[in-house]
Every structure is written in C-alpha cells, then in structure tokens.
C-alpha cells in the first residue's frame, strides 16, 4: 500500500473569505503525490476561418442587380476565451503588500501573486459558507471573470493525515454542500471538488468508500442544479498514482460522468505533458459524453517531479504554465493553479502556510 501524506490549511481573510490555501499529498518514490499545480487562464481570441482561395471562381459573375459596389463587407466575429479570476485575498498577496521593500517581493508579486489561483473553502462552517462563496463569485462576476473554487470538507479528509478535518459525517457534509451551492450565483464557475477524495479513498472500508462516492455524486448534482454555469471536476489523482483504468472505475462510481470532467496533479509536480496523456487515458476509460474534459494543476510542475519521489517542498521545482482556459489541447479544458505556489507542504514551513523563501525559489528557478 502506498503511503500518502498531505496538508491543506484554511486561511481566513479580513472579510471572512477563505484565501487560496494549499497543500496536497505526495508519496514516497513511486507512491501517490496528490495535489499539483493549478492551471492559469489566459486571454485568447480565435477567428472564424477565412474562405478558401480555391473556392473563388476563375470567372467573376456579373453583379446582382440587388447589390452595388457600396454593399458592406461582412465582418468576422471574434470569440474570446474567458479570463480566470484573481482573488485579491491570499497569503501571497498579503505578504507582498506587507513587504514592499523585501528584495524578493517584485519577483513573488509578478510571477505568483498576480496570477489567478483557486480559492479554497476548507473549514466546516455551515452558517458562513454560502456568504463566503458568494463573496468570491459575485466579485468575479463583477469583473466578468471565472473563479476557481475548491470545496474541501469531505469527512475523513486526507485519511487522518496532515490535512485531516472536514465535516463530522456525510449527512453534515451534504448540508454543507447545499449551502456552498447557494453561494454560486448564476455565472460560470469552476469547482475542483474535494482533492484526493477519489484517488485516496483506499483508506476507507468498502462501505464507507461507497457512501463517500454517493455523497460526491450528489454534490455534483446539487452544484450543477444551483448554477447551470458551474463546471464541476472530480479527483483523478495524477499520472504517478493509479493506472488510468482503475482511476476511471473509481471516478465512475463517484458520478464523474455527469460532471464537466476530471482534475489532476493538484499540489504535485508531474509534467503537463504527462498529465495530458494520463488524463486523456482516464477520460477514454471513463466513457460518458464526449464533452468530458480535464483540468491540470500547473502551479509547481515547471521542472517536473523529483527523480527520488520527494513530495514535501522538494528543492529544484519551479512554477509551471500560467493559468488559462485556452490550452489549445483537445479535452484539456484548463491549466490552473489550484495549490498556490509558496504555500508549504509542511517541510519549509507549517503545512499550508506561505513561505516567502520557498515562493521565491519556485518563481526564480530555471
């Protein structure tokens, strides 16, 4: 059995919202390293294809009596890829604002704090969760941008590891999800539903695992019913964890075929290329509608995973591709920064805490 350890820490802001917080799992050599980089959304435009020159006849027909030389030329409409939302309240943004004279502040600010990243909701506070979610989604809607939300309160979270916590039981979790859904609004949002909840479910008994998967399937339905613009993604672990067929079988039980798709590499370091290949294999094995896609956490995978399998703030890593909803890759919906770079796995600082030296290393490493 593969050993797994992880830690995600909730951080409250002055407004009561949860900032992008982080830490995910990792494993020993060859073992699971849950949680990886987050995709960043870029702003792209695509043009409708121009008519082929070969379609133009060699002999130009006489103009129709109904048309004149002054007839307007049809314009080509542009389609724009939506931009991701950058939440202003995060540990890294707070640090940059508080340390303007630190020689590392410019690099950390430009390369990490100014990037859109996920906003985590990891505390079990049913009375406050709807308003906290609404504060983020309404701010994103006002900017015409897409927020990335991470509900992280499943019971037995992290199998009792560094990120232990969550709701006391599944009935309470279902109620928490109901409240979470009330904060979504009506705009487009991306929901990264419970990192590690599927790939790391082996620690549960068969009965408890089935109950968790039923609750996750329900969560997807509730979130989508509350906001048809919500794109819900389910936990696919990463390319160094379960084989694609096994992961797909677990995802099917958890209701992923009725969602937008899957996410991988949260808080881990696997290369984008490896994740693209893996995610496509999982999607093929999963079946379901052709619209199912994948999002990849690219926040810390710029240099790939360490050869020795280290997962806890390993040296020599760097930030990966910027978050974007325009990947140019079939079935890959986005590159996201789910775990914010610089938030420790628990070795360079307390698990989930922002560590400027680590952030600077990730932002400046080549």
Q: What is the DSSP letter of 55?
A: G
Quote the tokens at residue 248.
């797909």
Q: What does the angle CA 176 – CA 181 – CA 186 come to, to the nearest 5 degrees?
A: 170
CA torsion angle 230 153 118 28 (round to 10):
-120
Among the options 158, 235, 297, 313, which is catalytic?
Answer: 158
CA torsion angle 101 104 105 109 (round to 10):
170
Among the options 37, 89, 123, 196, which is catalytic?
Answer: 196
Distance CA 326, CA 283 (A): 19
Among the options 123, 235, 274, 345, which is catalytic?
Answer: 345
Q: Tell me if residue 156 is catalytic.
A: no
Other C-beta atoms lying within 10 Å of the C-beta of residue 196? 26
Q: Tell me if residue 196 is catalytic.
A: yes
Q: Which runs of consecutive H residues, i.e. helices, occur in the chain?
A: 91-98, 105-108, 126-143, 170-182, 206-226, 244-253, 272-286, 356-364
Cβ atoms of 196 and 242 closer than 8 Å: no
Region class of 145: left (phi > 0), else alpha (psi between -120 and 50), else beta: beta
CB neighbour burial string for 134-171, b if at least 16 within 10 angstroms, e if fewer: bbbbebbbeeebbbbbbbbbbbbbbbebbbebbbeebe
Quote the tokens at residue 235.
């936990």
Q: Tell me if residue 274 is catalytic.
A: no
Among 260, 262, 255, smallest CA distance to 291 is for 260
Active-site residues: which are they? Answer: 158, 196, 345
């Amino acid at each position: 059995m593969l050993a797994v350890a992880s830690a995600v820490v909730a951080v409250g802001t002055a407004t009561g919202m949860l900032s992008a917080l982080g830490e995910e799992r990792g494993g020993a050599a060859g073992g699971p390293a849950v949680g990886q980089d987050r995709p960043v959304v870029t702003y792209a435009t695509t043009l409708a294809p121009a008519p082929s020159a070969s379609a133009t006849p060699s002999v130009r027909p006489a103009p129709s009596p109904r048309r004149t030389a002054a007839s307007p030329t049809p314009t080509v409409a542009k389609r724009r890829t939506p931009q991701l939302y950058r939440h202003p309240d995060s540990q890294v943004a707070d640090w940059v604002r508080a340390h303007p004279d630190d020689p590392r502040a410019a690099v950390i600010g430009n390369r990490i704090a100014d990037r859109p990243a996920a906003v985590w909701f990891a505390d079990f506070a049913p009375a406050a969760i709807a308003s906290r979610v609404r504060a983020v989604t309404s701010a994103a809607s006002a900017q015409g941008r897409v927020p990335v939300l991470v509900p992280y309160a499943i019971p037995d979270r992290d199998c009792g590891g560094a990120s232990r916590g969550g709701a006391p039981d599944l009935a309470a979790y279902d109620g928490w999800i109901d409240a979470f859904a009330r904060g979504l609004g009506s705009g487009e949002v991306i929901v990264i539903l419970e990192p590690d909840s599927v790939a790391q479910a082996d620690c549960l008994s068969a009965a408890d695992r089935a109950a968790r998967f039923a609750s996750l399937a329900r969560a997807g339905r509730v979130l989508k019913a509350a906001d048809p613009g919500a794109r819900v993604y389910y936990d696919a672990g990463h390319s160094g964890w379960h084989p694609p067929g096994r992961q797909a079988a677990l995802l099917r039980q958890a209701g992923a075929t009725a969602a937008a798709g899957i996410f991988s590499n949260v808080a881990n370091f696997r290369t984008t290329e490896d994740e693209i290949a893996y995610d496509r294999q999982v999607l093929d094995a999963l079946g379901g509608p052709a619209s199912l896609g994948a999002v990849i956490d690219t926040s810390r995978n710029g240099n790939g995973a360490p050869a020795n399998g280290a997962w806890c703030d390993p040296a020599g890593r760097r930030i990966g591709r910027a978050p974007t909803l325009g990947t140019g890759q079939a079935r890959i919906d986005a590159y996201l920064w789910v775990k914010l770079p610089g938030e420790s796995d628990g070795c360079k600082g307390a698990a989930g805490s922002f560590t400027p030296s680590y952030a600077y290393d990730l932002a400046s490493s080549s």
